[in-house]
Amino acid sequence: MTLTPVIISGGAGSRLWPLSRDARPKPFIELPDGTSLIGRTYSRAARLDGVERIVTVTNRDLLFLTADAYADSTAPRRRNNYLLEPFGRDTAAAVALATLHVHEADGPQGILLILPSDHLILDEEAFAQAVGKASEMAGTGRIVTFGIVPERPETGYGYIEAKSGKVLRFVEKPDAAKAAEYVASGRFYWNSGMFCFPAGAMLQAMEQYCPEVLAGARAAYDAARKLHSDDREVFEIDPERFRTTPAISLDYAVMEKAENVGCIALDCGWSDIGSWAAVAELTPADENGNRSRGETVLEDTRNSFVHSEDRLVGLVGVSDLLVVDTPDALLVAHKEKAQEVKHLFNRLKEQGHEAAKLHRTAHRPWGTYTVLEEGDRFKIKRIEVKPGARLSLQAHHHRSEHWVVVSGTAKIVNGDQEILLATNQSTYIPCGFKHRLENPGILPLVLIEVQSGDYLGEDDIVRFEDVYGRS
């Protein structure tokens, strides 16, 4: 039997705003040790015995951010296959796509291990042992879920009631009294959202319990645009067919209805890092119960968490606060209201506010740009291009641009000209001119871009050629 880990990466992580945003969501947030949740998930999967290929189901816009996170992993190299959704349709559709993909490659006996990209697991050895047991159980044709041994009564998680390795029922998030009763019984586990099963068994269950999901996913997968390279295969899922696929979770669509579902108990230091209160626990507390990242001064302050990126943050005479300071947004919340940050995020999305989608520093396949200043008819950016990378051949309808090289060498197409610029040299690109920026060197290229025009939105771009398939 072949074991294929499948990393499901979706959702905005709205409770972790302002660090988590649509264009760089929760799985990519940097943890205190410098890693990311998605990077740790990939490393954990790549270290499992017998794994040759890892499949990732994610949004098309997150492909290159995901590939960069995987490239930073120190785990053994595996072949990476990507199934790129044009938009999210919840976990049942994502699992259906992955199951069809593995079934096509390995047949009905191919084993899938479904892993959310945004979970933290501290004891990887215990995780690997549980995966081994789940794979054996899945080899008998069963669908297996992982039940987390509860550390405390928790109202933020769903529960699984199980006995002798068999799931009796799935339970919604309980109130505090019911959660305490569940934990005291010894029969209940936190629902981890991780699963293991043979492709044939899941397809059969979906055909029985959610045929519309399977039909929509199959049509979208069969019509996918397939791209191949030496180190990965990419499947761009067809948007029109995928749009007809019902949006429903795997729990509702299959797991709560299927019979003879197995359960592996897992005690591994698991957390879904579902709020800033959970993030705070990753940083050691001082003698006053305060936890902080970045430059802080705390006076007469207790049991508070401060995350500061660019500047000094001071707190005086407060307690039980969550303070998250980023270059363009500041969050202040009471610890007891950590779960309600999502409501603030949703309001920003309803208003169309950029702070729900973008950071000041945006990541692109070729590197990053940071908005340094903007005002009426102008915007100033710091652009960093990776060695050997280049932007698309493009033009803008409403703005002109001035480029000044800070460090490195820039190879530039500007209208009919192709020029090389070194440090302290510059060029002007008039509105409407075709242009392209490339880094031909072995060191990062850094330049300052000054935009001027009537409209400076990121959607004022026409791509003519693009090595990343965005034209």
Together in a domain, 445 and 422: yes
Q: What is the domain range of residue 339?
A: 276-345
In a domain, 350, yes or no: no
Q: DSSP letter string over 133-167?
A: HHHHHHTTT--EEEEEPPSS--SSS-EEEEETTEE
Establish if 353 belongs to a structural domain: no
Same domain? For 372 and 338 the reply is: no
Predicted pLDDT at 194: 98
**Is 133 found in the same domain as 16?**
yes
**120 found inside a domain:** yes
Going by pLDDT thresholds of 50, 70 and 90, the confidence category of residue 232 is: confident
Answer yes or no: is pLDDT of 471 > 70.
Answer: no
Same domain for 376 and 285: no
Give yes or no: residues 170 and 215 share one domain.
yes
How far is the C-alpha of 165 from the C-alpha of 249, rounded, in Å? 23
At 67, is the pLDDT very low, low, confident or very high (cuts 50, 70, 90)?
very high
Is the residue at 185 inside a domain? yes
- Share of residues in the chain with pLDDT > 90 (%): 90
| pLDDT (average), residues 334-345 | 95
Task: Indicate the residue among 345, 376, 391 that finishes a domain.
Answer: 345
Q: How many domains does the chain have?
A: 3
- Predicted pLDDT of residue 381: 98
Q: In the listed set 271, 290, 311, which residue is the last one of a domain according to the structure?
A: 271
| Residues in Cβ contact with 142 at an 8 Å cutoff, skipping those fewer than 6 apart | 197, 201, 260, 261, 262
Residues 6+ apart with CB under 8 A from 469: 227
Q: Are 41 and 7 in contact (CB under 8 A)?
A: yes
Instruction: Return the pLDDT at 133.
Output: 97
Region 421-431: mean pLDDT is 97
DSSP 8-state class, residue 268: S
**Integer Cα distance of 161 and 191 in angstroms:** 9
Beta bridge partners of residue 146, listed in sequence order: 264
Complete DSSP assignment for 404-470: EEEES-EEEEETTEEEEE-TT-EEEE-TT--EEEE--SSS-EEEEEEEEES---TT--EEEE-TTS-
Residue 426 lies in a domain: yes
Rounded Cα distance, 97 and 214, in Å: 8
Residues 245 and 114 in one domain: yes
Q: How far is CA 280 from the centre of its chain?
A: 19
Q: What mean pLDDT do residues 169-185 have?
A: 94
Q: What is the DSSP letter of 251?
A: I
DSSP, residue by residue, 332-369: EEEGGGGGGHHHHHHHHHHTT-GGGT--SEEEETTEEE
pLDDT at position 221 over 80: yes
For residues 186-207, give the mean pLDDT.
97
Whether residue 354 is contained in a domain is answered as no
Per residue, what are the HEC states of 70-94? Answer: HHCCCCCCCEEEEEEECCCCHHHHH
Same domain, 225 and 192: yes
Q: Which residues of 271-297 are buried (b: 16+ CB within 10 A; e: fewer)?
A: bbbbbbbbbbeebeeeeeebbbbeebe
Residues 218 and 85 in one domain: yes
Same domain, 421 and 369: yes
- Answer yes or no: is 41 within a domain: yes
pLDDT score recorded for residue 228: 78
Averaged over 295-316, what is the pLDDT? Answer: 97
343 pLDDT higher than 90: yes
Strand order in the sheet with 462-465: 417-421, 410-414, 435-438, 393-395, 462-465
The whole-number average pLDDT for the span 140-162 is 95
In a domain, 7, yes or no: yes
Per-residue model confidence as pLDDT tens digits over 233-255: 999 999 999 999 999 999 999 99
What does the alpha-carbon distance between residue 198 and residue 219 come to, in Å, rounded to a whole number?
21
* Cβ neighbour number for residue 108 with a 10 Å cutoff: 14
74, 197: one domain: yes
The CATH number that applies at residue 60 is: 3.90.550.10
| Contact of 29 with 37, CB cutoff 8 Å | yes
Say yes or no: 267 and 283 in one domain: no
Q: Which residues pair with 306 in a beta bridge?
A: 292, 323
Pick the range with the lowest mean pLDDT from 16-20, 124-128, 356-360: 356-360
| Domain end among 251, 271, 291 | 271
| Residues 123, 38 share a domain | yes
Which CATH number is 434's domain given?
A: 2.60.120.10
User: Per residue in 130-150, pLDDT tens?
Assistant: 999 999 999 999 999 999 999
Task: Please return the burial class of 222, using the count of CB atoms within 10 Å of its CB with bins 0-12, 13-18 and 19+.
Answer: exposed
**Mean pLDDT across the stretch 16-43?**
94
Rounded to the nearest integer, the mean pLDDT of the chain is: 95
pLDDT in tens, 370-408: 999 999 999 999 999 999 999 999 999 999 999 999 999
pTM exceeds cut of 0.75: yes
Phi and psi (nearest 5°) for 58?
-150, 175
Q: Which residue has the higher pLDDT, 230 or 350?
A: 350
pLDDT tens by residue, 432-445: 999 999 999 999 99
| pLDDT of res. 428 | 98
Is 280 within 8 Å of 138 (Cβ atoms)? no
